[in-house]
Every structure is written in C-alpha cells, then in structure tokens.
Amino acid sequence: MCRSPLAEGLLKLIFKEKNIDGFVDSAGFEAYHINETPYEHTIRKAQNQGIDISTKRVRLFSQTDFDKFDRIYVMDTLAYRNAIEFARNDKDKAKVDFLMNVVNPGKNEPVPVPHAQSEDDYDQTYMLLHEACEKIAESITKEQLN
C-alpha cells in the first residue's frame, strides 16, 4: 500500500531514464487490499517526485511471479517469509531477497513503513527506496555490458 508501489514507480522511472528494458510490478500478501490504490500520502509523495502511481491497484503475489520475474525483492521479514512459502523449489527461493540487501548486502534490513507517519518518515523511506532502485538499475546495466 505504500513501500512496494512507491518502489515500483521509482524503478520504472529509473529504468526509463536509463533505457533499461524491464518489467517491474509490485504485489502484496494481504487479500483484503486487492484492487485498492496505494495510500493517498504515498501517491502524493510519488507525484512530488514526478512519479504517477495513482492508477496502481494492489494485486496478490502468486507462484506465477517466479516465472515472470528474474528477481523478487521484499520489504521486510514477513514478506520474505510469505514469498518463500510460495516458492516451489530452490530456484524460486534464490530469486527472493530483501530490497535493502542491494544497498547493505546480507543485512536483511526492512524498509521502514511510512504510512500514518510524518513527512520526514516518508522522505527517509523514499531515499532508501531510491538508493536501492538506483543500485538495481546499475547492476542490470553492468550485466548487460558483460
């Protein structure tokens, strides 16, 4: 409702700026949020950064996501456990990692939840997501050069 859609919007924008051809999507694990939009504050934060996530609708993570995506980044420990539960094999499990491990490898740090928090909390979360998304784009660019 807040972190994943913001990260999706950020990564799509960075991919576009860097001419990276990739499919980016976010999903959750809570069925009661299906088809809802991200939190209003999250939409505003994204818009302030030139990112439009207002038409994003929450969808549930599924096993087929392992077939659609090369990498699956999660925001926290609960999401990690949930994604691993969907994994069919070790290959699926290897695709799942904490987003912040892109910045701080092996630390398994969560991305702070900013909703219902202060503007500073949203700024901090945005900066962390931005740093991680830039690193993802960097790694893809390096892979494409090799």
Question: pLDDT tens across 55-85, in order?
Answer: 999 999 999 999 999 999 999 999 999 999 9
Is the model's pLDDT at 117 over the cut of 70? no
| pLDDT value of residue 144 | 74
Structural domains present in the chain: 3-139 (3.40.50.2300)
| Mean pLDDT value of segment 122-132 | 94
pTM of the model: 0.92
Decide if 12 contacts 38 (C-beta within 8 A).
no
117 or 83: which leads in pLDDT: 83
Nearest residue to 113 (alpha-carbon basis) of 79, 77, 80, 75: 75
